[in-house]
Structure 1
Amino acid sequence: MTDYSAHIPFLPTSVEQLLPLLDLAGRAENLRLWLGQSLTIEPHQLFAYCAGRGLQAPVGTSVTLMALRHPYEAALQARSLAFVTGRPVVAGYGPGSTDFQLALAGDRYRSPLTAVTEYLGAVRGLLNGETVRLDGEYVRLHATLPHLPHPPVDLGLGVLRPAMARLAGEIADVAITWLCPPAYLRDVLIPELRVAADKAGRPTPRVVSVVHAAERKPRRDPVDLALSVCGAHLQAPHYVDMLRRAGIHAAPTDPLSGARTLVDEGIFLSGSLPELATGLQAYHAAGADEVVVNLSAVGATRGPAVATRELEFLLTALGSMRRPQR
């Protein structure tokens, strides 16, 4: 598995937008494609469509929100995706914001850690072929899945803060970070993962860091780019708390200032291709096993075609692809 992978750099609104990206993935060296929770085209269905169009790359979700699907449906979708792609899948999950929980379920997870523990435990049991009997605080399940051989499904957990890192160390295969600075990853999250995994007598989860980036170009304001894709995160309490723990000032009432801070602190990477490569390499140096290049800001402001083309140039600079003609 290459050390670099790619987040789909736009929220798809048509399948035709994906075709250049599928061509790119076919020419890359074992590139994993990631997509977070999309509310345009659902991620599992999108990746299944891509497999039908010939995509042979492994895929991952970074992350899907638990309130949208029962663990039984989550396990069924994850293993179905592994089956139709013929490749290992990373199925990443997270509780999402309290506003999202309230909007869908009418209540919030009073203990997100308990909710995640029950959810991942149920999904893992089903994927292992077990009959799951669980009457938990958040999950009720008495069922098994019919036998179906499929490539491995690794269970991922969105990790922002120490408590979730410890839980990931205990129960997850992959810890997925988003907007986490490299130093915070190195000094806080990874040590928590390792200690918890050691106590549980299991391997430390792989660390996957999703990193926003955009090449510096004329008439591009990196702060506007950061705001276009990070504005909602900068107003979400769990992201604000994570950034503050990392020593990064973030005010929910002033996302523009927060976006400027993300750029100034190198959390939203902006610069030349060599500068972007250096910024991404900092995540490997901090201990990330896989760094996911995310050009969603380019996709949001310049469109899917531009974002896909610039993704190819950046992956080439990182050594993950043959050099394209510019």
Structure 2
Amino acid sequence: MTDFSIMMPFAPQRPEQMLPFAALTQWSPAACLWQGQGNVGDTHISFAHAAAAGFRVPTGTSVNLMPFLHPYDAALRAQTLAATTGNRVVAGFGPGGASLQRGILGAPYRSQLGAVREYVTVVRSLLDTGEVHHEGEYFTCRMVMARYPRPLVEIGLGVLRPRMAELAGEVADVAITWLTSAAYLRETLVPALRRGAQRAGRRPPRLVAIVPMALRADGRDPVELALTSNSGHMRLPHYVDMLQRSGIEVDMAADPRASGRALVDGGAFLYGDRDELAVAVKEFVAAGADEVAFNMAGVCMLYGARRTLGELETVLESVAS
């Protein structure tokens, strides 16, 4: 059975701004509330605030960027969040782009995959056993962490390209995609997840697709919506490469509107009425997604949070019916 979830459409400047979306998650068929990494506020604090306000829902981070958090701190925060919410937590991680690594660490990781593997090794050991003895090229940690009863914490990896998908297949509980088309999931990422899992002698991780979308309405421009919610990602080299691999050509420096149109036409940004969106979402399910999280950031940025909440509820009802 596939789950359908909500992606916070903006990074809250104040944690109470999350409450309406946490409430919708609790009162609707939504399975989880997801929040991405931002530079405005801390994701874990916003989730904890929602729990303290009475909205103790399953949560997911998509994704916490590794340069910001030592893996010990990442494990401690994930465990604390699970205990605070009383619900499952997907602790999603990713290395970020080379420019971010350079800005925080002074230089990019020599090997993205090597750094991610070490990071997950430390976090998993701490969460599973309460201790870790790891000395690697990128991370060293010889520590203990108190363990106590708490709900499940799943380790997720942000996955854009085949090699990271294979690594997720080996070491992660959850693979998390962003801005990918259903066809790219089916033809590229799902086979890579299976290859990695087979190599490690385990089952493939759950696949969560975070999908940008908007309901069709008079006066709306789908290209504007696509660019409003995704233009930042469309300028990052690793996203450009992923989109090109999926047959979506983007060049934001040369022609932003053509790039936005390619995103819509290529199925990486969904636009349509409630029935059309339900059909498009089910294509992600058929491609192998175990959970689809609805990202209406463009709607929120252009039309506000109240409109976004109503449209999220509409789409959740349409796919659940």
Are residues 1:257 and 2:258 paired?
yes
Q: Secondary structure at the match of 1:128?
A: helix
**Partner residue of 1:162?**
162
Q: Distance in 1 between matches of 2:58 and 2:165?
A: 24
Determine if contact 2:251/2:259 at 8 Å carries over to the other structure: yes
**2 CA distance for matches of 1:61 and 1:177?**
12
> Shift of residue 226 of structure 1?
0.8
Match in the other structure for 1:57: 57
Q: Sequence identity, in percent?
A: 47
Give yes or no for contact 1:166–1:193 (8 Å, CA) kept in 2: yes
Equivalent runs, 1:287-326 vs 2, <5 Å? 287-319=288-320
Structure-1 residue corresponding to 2:184: 184
Per-residue deviation, 1:318: 1.5
What does residue 206 of structure 1 align with? 206
Q: Offset of 1:128 from its aligned partner?
A: 1.1
1:267 equivalent in structure 2: 268
Q: Does structure 2 conserve the Cα–Cα contact (< 8 Å) formed by 1:9 and 1:308?
A: no
Quote the residue 1:108 is aligned against. Answer: 108
Provide, for residues 266-318 of structure 1, a one-character-per-residue CA deviation record: whole Å limited to 9, x for no partner: 21111111111111111001011111111111111112222112111111112
CA distance in 1, matches of 2:162, 2:19: 39
SS in 1 for 2:61: strand
Which residue in 2 is equivalent to 1:247? 247
Deviation per CA, 1:156-179, whole angstroms, max 9, x where unpaired? 000010100110011000000111
Bigger shift: residues 251-260 or 35-44:
251-260
CA distance in 1, matches of 2:118, 2:18: 35
Aligned ranges for residues 1-326 of structure 1 at < 5 Å? 3-29=3-29, 31-254=31-254, 255-319=256-320
| Cα distance in 2 between the residues matched to 1:22 and 1:205 | 26
Cα shift readout 1:62-107 (whole Å, capped 9, x = no counterpart): 1110011100000000010100111111110000111111111111
Q: Which residue is 1:323 aligned to? A: none
Tell me, yes or no, if the aligned pair for 1:30 and 1:57 is still in contact at 8 Å.
no
Structure 1 stretch displaced more, 90-99 or 253-262: 253-262
Which deviates more from structure 2 when the two are superposed, residues 63-72 or residues 260-269?
Answer: 260-269
The separation in 1 between residues aligned to 2:119 and 2:23, in whole angstroms, is 35
Deviation at 1:227, TM superposition (A): 0.8
Contact 1:17 1:304 in 2 (8 A): no
1:194 shift after superposition: 0.8
Separation of aligned partners in 2, 1:72 and 1:82: 16
- Separation of aligned partners in 2, 1:302 and 1:162: 36
Alpha carbons of structure 1 residues 82 and 201: separation in structure 2 relative to 1, 3 Å: same
Please tell me the residue identity of whatever aligns with 1:151.
P
Q: 2:130 and 2:145 mapped to 1: Cα distance?
A: 8
Deviation for aligned residue 1:13: 2.1
Whole-Å separation in 2 of the counterparts to 1:16 and 1:116: 32
Task: Give the aligned CA root-mean-square deviation in angstroms.
Answer: 1.4
Q: Secondary structure at the match of 2:320?
A: coil
Q: Distance in 1 between matches of 2:2 and 2:50?
A: 20
- Give the deviation of 1:129 after TM superposition: 2.1
Offset of residue 130 of structure 1: 4.1
Q: Structure 2: how far apart are the matches of 1:141 and 1:72?
A: 7
CA distance in 2, matches of 1:120, 1:44: 19
How far does residue 52 in structure 1 lie from its aligned partner after superposition?
A: 0.6
- Whether the aligned pair in 2 keeps the contact of 1:35 and 1:61 (CA below 8 Å) is yes
What is the count of residue pairs matched by the alignment?
320
Match of 1:324 in 2: none
> 1:125-175, CA deviations, whole angstroms, 9 ceiling, x for partnerless residues?
010124212221111111010122211110000001010011001100000
1:14 Cα offset (Å):
2.8
* 2:29–2:316 contact (8 Å) kept in structure 1: no
Answer whether contact 2:4 2:30 (CA < 8 A) is retained.
Answer: no
The DSSP-based 3-state class of the residue aligned with 1:64 is strand
Distance 1:308 1:218 in 2: 18
8 Å contact from structure 1 (residues 4, 31) kept in 2: yes
Q: Which stretch of the first structure deviates more once superposed, 22-31 or 151-160?
A: 22-31
How far the C-alpha of 1:252 sits from its partner, in A, is 4.5
Match of 1:55, SS?
coil
Gaps of 5+ in 2: none
**Paired AA for residue 175 in structure 1:** A
Q: Structure 1, residues 188-243: CA drift from partner, whole Å, max 9, x if none?
A: 11111112111211111011000000011122211111111211111111011111
